[in-house]
């Protein structure tokens, strides 16, 4: 059995060409830079605009990264979908290409569905994929999906598929919820990742596995630093610094803000593109964010150096 992923992962943002296709060259550069900074690649997450892509586009992007030599062992592709068929196809493909860890949204079109239905969905994926090496990380993000993954469901899934249910990304934004997951499930080897670095120090203090955070796209080294040094005397101060950076991004819609920062600091305006229904930051917003980041001496470094 391969080692489970721990640490800091970035839900990798997806650059687009002028006609809104994924921009492979920019994507690869960004992914190489992230790996060089020491963070893993949670490609096809919420921040990746993954649900705005077709399954075929995700397959191609994954193939492209792996063919370029990026390590499957450092990836946790998002493969959950409203469509059981799509979830099975993308999970199978990820696994066939060596990515054993996948992050799965629940099906999110129907609201108020019964636990039995969500259990049946994950069961079907696991049974159809039928691989002992598959590690599913459940993606709890009720503010967006509107479909929670509750404690009872996790218990049932863990009991039925102890080898395949590997952990959770908790993007509830509620520390009490994350703490309860850490208390109830982490001792059983079910890895709890905080959904943002806001809760990274607390998550580590309670035995968690790390964080998967939007801002790891732009501030990976500092976030990783706290993960590696969470027991250091200055860990609280490091956490406060991370919080300050995140606070500037959180003043805007997160995904366009991340892309805007990369567009500015990499001097590649095209990075600012998003797929509808998202909209890029306005010129004023982009300048406000840039000003705030420059005042705190924020730097990205050049992506090219890593590529």
Whether residue 230 contacts residue 246, with contact meaning beta carbons closer than 8 Å, is answered with no
Which parts of 27-114 are beta strand (E)?
Answer: 40-41, 101-104
Other Cβ atoms closer than 10 A to 21 = 12
C-alpha to C-alpha distance for 288 and 290, rounded to whole angstroms: 5
Least Å distance, CB 127 to its own copies, is 10
- Toward its own copies, which CB reaches closer, 121 or 190? 121
Q: What is the dihedral of CA 21, 24, 26, 28, to 10 degrees?
A: 150
Q: How many residues can be counted in the chain?
A: 307
Residues that bind its own copies (CB under 8 A): 20, 46, 51-57, 82-86, 89, 106-111, 113-114, 116-118, 120-121, 123-124, 143-147, 275-279
Rounded least distance, CB 6 to its own copies, Å: 28
CB of 22 to its own copies, least distance (A): 10
Q: How far is the CB of 292 from its own copies (least distance, A)?
A: 22
- Cβ contacts of residue 7 below 8 Å, gap of 6+? 38, 39, 40, 209, 210, 224, 227
| Residue nearer to its own copies on the CB measure, 53 or 289 | 53
Nearer of residues 108 and 193 to its own copies, judged by Cβ: 108
User: Smallest distance, Å, CB 33 to its own copies?
Assistant: 26
Q: Which is nearer to its own copies, 86 or 184 (CB)?
A: 86
Compute the half-sphere exposure of residue 14: CA atoms within 13 Å on the CB side of its CA. Answer: 27
Minimum separation from the CB atom of position 249 to its own copies (A): 16
Q: Evaluate whether 74 touches 41 at the Cβ level (below 8 Å).
A: yes
Residue nearer to its own copies on the CB measure, 55 or 180: 55
CB 104 within 8 A of CB 136: yes
- In the complex, the smallest distance separating the C-beta of residue 281 from its own copies, rounded to whole angstroms, is 11
| 108 close to 147: Cβ distance less than 8 angstroms | yes
How many Cα atoms within 13 Å fall on the side-chain side of residue 250? Answer: 11
In whole angstroms, how close is the CB of 52 to its own copies at the nearest point? 6
Radius of gyration of the chain measured on its C-alpha atoms:
18
Helix or strand holding residue 287 (H, E) = helix 283-295
């Amino acid at each position: 059995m391969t080692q489970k992923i721990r640490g800091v992962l970035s839900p990798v943002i997806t650059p687009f060409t002028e006609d809104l296709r994924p921009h492979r060259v920019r994507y690869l550069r960004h992914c190489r830079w992230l790996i060089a900074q020491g963070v893993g690649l949670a490609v096809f997450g919420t921040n990746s605009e993954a649900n705005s892509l077709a399954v075929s586009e995700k397959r191609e992007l994954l193939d492209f990264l792996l063919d370029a030599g990026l390590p499957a062992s450092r990836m946790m592709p998002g493969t959950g979908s409203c469509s059981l068929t799509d979830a099975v196809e993308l999970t199978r493909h990820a696994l066939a290409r060596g990515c054993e860890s996948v992050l799965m949204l629940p099906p999110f079109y129907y609201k108020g569905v019964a636990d039995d239905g969500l259990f049946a969905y994950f069961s079907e994926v696991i049974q159809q994929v039928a691989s002992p090496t598959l590690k599913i990380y459940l993606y709890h993000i009720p503010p967006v999906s509107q479909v929670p993954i509750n404690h009872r469901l996790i218990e049932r899934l863990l009991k039925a598929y102890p080898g395949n249910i590997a952990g959770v990304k908790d993007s509830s934004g509620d520390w009490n919820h994350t703490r309860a997951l850490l208390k109830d499930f982490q001792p059983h080897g079910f890895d709890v990742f905080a959904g943002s670095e806001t809760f990274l120090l607390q998550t580590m203090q309670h035995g968690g596995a790390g964080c998967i955070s939007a801002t790891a796209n732009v501030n990976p080294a500092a976030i990783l630093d706290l993960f590696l040094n969470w027991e250091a005397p200055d860990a609280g101060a490091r956490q406060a610094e991370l919080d300050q950076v995140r606070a500037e991004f959180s003043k805007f819609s997160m995904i366009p803000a991340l892309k805007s920062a990369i567009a500015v600091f990499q001097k590649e305006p095209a990075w600012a593109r998003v797929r509808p229904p998202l909209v890029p930051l306005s010129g004023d917003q982009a300048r406000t964010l840039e000003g705030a980041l420059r005042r705190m001496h924020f730097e990205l470094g050049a992506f090219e150096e890593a590529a």
